[in-house]
Structure 1
């Protein structure tokens, strides 16, 4: 599978970290875009120092271990002329995890001021799967309208609302639940949490 993954400046770095960790064990390639606010939030939430996207991958490798089956290609957040800014390039799906409400609003309005917004716009116009993982809570009416508009445009909204029926023991278990739900929407069984058996 060929993906575009954006980290877009919301709280919830654990969801991105656990998704990227699991993704690294699957064959394929990913174009990774990290916003400057995401670097700051990742540093704060993991109590580490990262100043560029490569350092996020290095941190995940040192803390959780990264597989070698997946290739990661870093793309500059500010480069709206990058290869993935054009529909002439192809990918299977795009995931924005976590997704800020500013990014949701920009995608919904068709604004493309950075590469995450542009790649999301391309995903929608080319009818490729776009999954956004908003972490904001509670939602105000503007958030809800923007999320509804994004859904109507073909996006998939996966709120960062982990389930508890799998009896999580750690924060990583909660992160894996959301990562697993993303994989489910991509048509991949990553077996990150036990399925409900009834």
Structure 2
């Protein structure tokens, strides 16, 4: 999680992950924790707190294993291509993080893991939540697309007739899972 607005997208993705067998290495930036705290009007202070908040708010049956990694730990296991993972998702993804990944600046674990994900030719999905985009944002995202990243802006559809913010979060979570090659339906498919 990077420090953009849109904590609902991360929270609903995490909630869905909790009910799927597997493992995730979870990194949250200090800015993402602050934004999460403000957007959910809660007192979370860490990634661990975010996982606990999601569990308490929506009560998913947790079968997924989360490995918390420190944002500043540039030497963590996921900072090396010698470790294997299927893909990486940054949700929400700030424009600062987009710019850092695009230029290869790796000052924190999110940026370093994204850099490794690209160099190892694994799936990197970035979910920016910004509007409008300026030319620098667009050029950065295009360069990352050309380098192999998938840019999936937090632009939920409305044909499923959302009734809540959770519905919008589930739309994006489903799109992210499909981009990762997992068929999970958290909202109705389009049926004209």
Q: If the length of structure 2 is used for normalisation, what is the TM-score?
A: 0.99
1:90 correspondence with 2:50: no
Q: Which of 128, 143, 149 is the equivalent residue of 1:149? A: 143
Do residues 165 (structure 1) and 164 (structure 2) align? no
Moved over 6 A (4+): none
1:24 aligns with 2:18: yes
User: Which of 49, 58, 64 pairs up with 2:43?
Assistant: 49
Q: CA RMSD in A?
A: 0.6
Decide which of 58, 81, 90 is 2:52's aligned counterpart: 58
| Larger proportion of strand | 1
Q: Distance in 2 between matches of 1:188 and 1:52?
A: 28
Task: Determine whether 1:76 maps to 2:70.
Answer: yes
Total equivalences in the alignment: 192
Residue equivalent to 1:184: 178
1:38 aligns with one of 32, 38, 42: 32
Q: Give the aligned partner of residue 137 of structure 1.
A: 131
Flag structure 2 segments of 5+ consecutive residues without an equivalent. none
Work out the CA distance in 2 between the residues paired with 1:125 and 1:107: 11
Gaps of 5+ in 1: 1-6
